[in-house]
Structure 1
Amino acid sequence: MNRFMFATGIENSDPTLQGGRVRVDQMRDCGHDEHYELDFDLALEIGVNALRYGAPLHRTFVGPGRYDWSFPDATFGALRRRNLTVIADLCHFGVPDWLGDFQNPDFPELFAQYAGAFAHRYPWIQLYTPVNEMYICALFSGKYGWWNEELTTDRGFVTALKHLVRANVLAMHAILGVRPDALFIQSESTEQFHARVPEVLAQEAFLNETRFLSLDLNYGRDVSARMLEYLLDNDLSHQEYTFFLKHQLKPHCVMGNDYYATNEHCVFPDGHLEASGDVFGYALITREYFERYRLPVMHTETNAPQGPRGREAVDWLTKVWANVLKIRNDGVPVMGFTWYSLTDQMDWDTGLRERNLRPYPVGLYDLERRVRPVGTAYRDLIRAWQGVLPTQSAALILPLALSATPAQGDRRSFHLE
């Protein structure tokens, strides 16, 4: 089955706030728990052929080796009855209360056990994002003090990062043990930092290296001497660094790139950052990531608020899609495109730092499940391009399996060198 993936997703972020006293649960707060059958039908109505979707980890992983599959059985069963390719999103910014937070050194191994159990439970799923946006999760939890452990130190960031990436690597191994032809779409934020004045050029350079750390470790790529010193100074051991270098899973990976208007940042003399808007844009920055890792690419997230004119989201869709076509036509193998998410989200206007239950109008549908202008525009875009891309743009194709359970030993893989 070879096709370009037009995707959306069901937002399932679940970090904790206020010292763990408040749990964000986007599936609950956006009404998906109640309307999942309708949501899956709306995805088909828009015309997508792939859905980023995950069980709520904090409700499913109830203890070491203990799982409550009741909700995922219902939802993944409903998805299997529809003609949608599932990209299973297993950890999206939070862990169960009993695991604490991302400073917990037991998290990687326990999460890998969960990933293996999930793959056993749903052997028909081939595509996975084990841990979503590892860099952003570590940054917001360990450095910015917004979520989960709410730390504001480099050590907090590095500790969260090493545990998140180790969890991702071990989960990939666990899933491959069940589904040897599994493919992993990383879904990582595509970042860029710009110096406001010459005095911050060194800080800009440092930040433009740290943005790569999650993928460097995940793909077993040696970091620079400066980054290695930074990691070792902030509680990464030589043994832990060697672990990342020896686990070479690139042949099973697609580099997922998320890009929003807030992904580029101005660096100011006092050290603070501000969103700069799309100065370079998705095409230029993604090419930089592609040249670094030489992996097939999937555009895995973007959105924009509908705005006062009612067309701001449509204009953003048009711009980002043009960037995707640009890099495909220039020879970067792009496998898919994603508007995230299917419905409006809740409280992302504050980066989930507060639980105000305030809708954020970025969905293809609003929370009453009424289509937004960007939903209509995305439907029309899919209809126009779905039959053209496989033959008229330079790209590789994903080896997607038609069967629910592959033959033992079938380890299909691909990579670029």
Structure 2
Amino acid sequence: MKIEEQPFIWAVGIENTFVTQIERGERPLDEYDLTQHYQFWKEDLDRARESGASMIRYGIPWHLVEKEENIFDWSWVDGVMDYFKNHRELVPIIDLMHYGTPHWLKNEFANGKYPDYVARYAKEFAKRYGHFIKYYTPLNEPYVNAEFCGLNAVWPPYLEGLSGFYSLMTQLGKGIINTVNEIQAVISDARFVHVDATKKYFSYDPRLQEEVKLWNENRFVMWELVQGRISEFHPLYDFMLEYGVSPDTLTWFQNNQITIDIIGLNYYPQFSVHEVKRDKKGYIIYPHILGGGEELKEIVEEVHKRYQRPIFITETSFRGSEEERLKWLDECYDTCLQIQKDDIPLLGLTWFPFFDLVDWEYRTSGKSIEEELLPFGLYTLTMKDGVLQREKNRVGYKFEKLAKKRRESNC
């Protein structure tokens, strides 16, 4: 049964950011390593099944699978995929790309052959596991990827500014399209969940409304690109050309457009809503403003109006106390019910991350893993004698109660 035909889906996801290049003196950010998931993956997946979740977003460490160019080592992945094969009640949506690239790929996403290399890796995965793995995210959060790697020069290849942002976004977009095509050539019934971060911009300053309009359009750039929508009549067309994208590149996307199966929205109350304003020096800034269910509903309605495709909340959670997370879980679920009552095909929600994660700042902070643990999860991580203990917290128990109640009601 396709997930579009199922009752409301409760899902979880294990944080799987992989940024392991250390040429500039940073520490490798491999969340599976830092949270000891490589060691305790089976126990973690057992907990995910026990949570009441019927789906899980699960990432593949490309940097370990293909340590040498075109030589693939699936030994660790084999064990995990066998688990999914033997436990069909927990269906994985495979995150093929979650930021990091192999070390042999010089210039990372800026490498001209990146779109071909990532698609080759995806095809190898599909050939090996595609007889039972049907759901894929070609690349998680292109917007954040291009932001960290191309706009703000935080991660390799350390590009900067809007020219860097769009250069990376077009590279990532080509990789997404090539990945979809290569997997479909192997798995005719593959389904793709195209996941990106949600953004909502607003301003109290009437002089900044054009800026708000621009960024509220730019938040959709990945979905617009891969569907070949950005032509000379598109509101982003001239803006992208101004920052270095060639007309030929946008024509390539028009000629190689793909159809989106499912839209995945990652919404975080603390990170998804931005106020556009000027600082004391007159510069335009975009600080985060705490959002809630109302903003999530508005975003879902806008996405559905634009694309008319099934929607999945593929990430949501709240960084904070158990009380704050419990409050958001209830609010988010209530919002999802309201959205469904409006006949919008919202498939379900994903609590992400399943257990606490290590802050991305770990790469440069010099702090210990324990000091960098962030309280997001249904399970709390606590270091004891060098081992990160997993303890189900009150949010985990509430998630399990809601998921099982909804599943039993079959509505």
> More displaced, 65-74 or 166-175?
65-74
Deviations 1:20-46 (A, max 9, x none): 543210011011011001001000111
Measure the CA separation in 2 of the matches of 1:267 and 1:101: 32
Compute the TM-score of the two structures, normalised by the length of structure 1. Answer: 0.88
Matched position secondary structure for 2:18: coil
Q: Does 1:320 align with 2:303?
A: no
Aligned residue in 2 for 1:210: 218
Specify whether residues 278 and 389 from structure 1 end up closer, same or farther in structure 2 by C-alpha distance, changes over 3 A only: farther
Measure the CA separation in 2 of the matches of 1:342 and 1:173: 31
Matched position secondary structure for 1:281: helix
Q: Which runs of 5+ in 1 are unaligned?
A: 391-417
2:397 aligned to 376, 382, 390, which one?
376
Compute the TM-score of the two structures, normalised by the length of structure 2. Answer: 0.89
Deviations 1:327-383 (A, max 9, x none): 1110110112100021110015x5976463211111111221110111111001101
Aligned residue in 1 for 2:385: none
The aligned runs of 1:8-407 (5 Å cut-off) are 8-16=12-20, 21=25, 22-82=27-87, 83-99=89-105, 100-123=107-130, 124-222=132-230, 224-250=233-259, 253-261=261-269, 262-269=271-278, 270-278=283-291, 280-307=294-321, 310-348=322-360, 350=361, 354=365, 356=367, 357=369, 358-367=372-381, 368-388=389-409, 390=411
Give the count of matched residue pairs: 386
Matched position secondary structure for 1:298: strand
Sequence identity (%) = 29
Measure the CA separation in 2 of the matches of 1:292 and 1:64: 40
> More displaced, 48-57 or 236-245?
236-245
8 A Cα contact 2:230 2:250, kept in partner? no
Pairwise CA distance, 1:138? 0.4
Aligned residue in 2 for 1:407: none
Specify whether residues 55 and 225 from structure 1 end up closer, same or farther in structure 2 by C-alpha distance, changes over 3 A only: closer
Pairwise CA distance, 1:64? 3.2
RMSD across aligned positions (CA): 1.9
8 A Cα contact 1:19 1:148, kept in partner? no
8 A Cα contact 2:230 2:236, kept in partner? no
Specify whether residues 319 and 38 from structure 1 end up closer, same or farther in structure 2 by C-alpha distance, changes over 3 A only: same
Matched position secondary structure for 1:148: coil
Q: Which runs of 5+ in 2 are unaligned?
A: 382-388
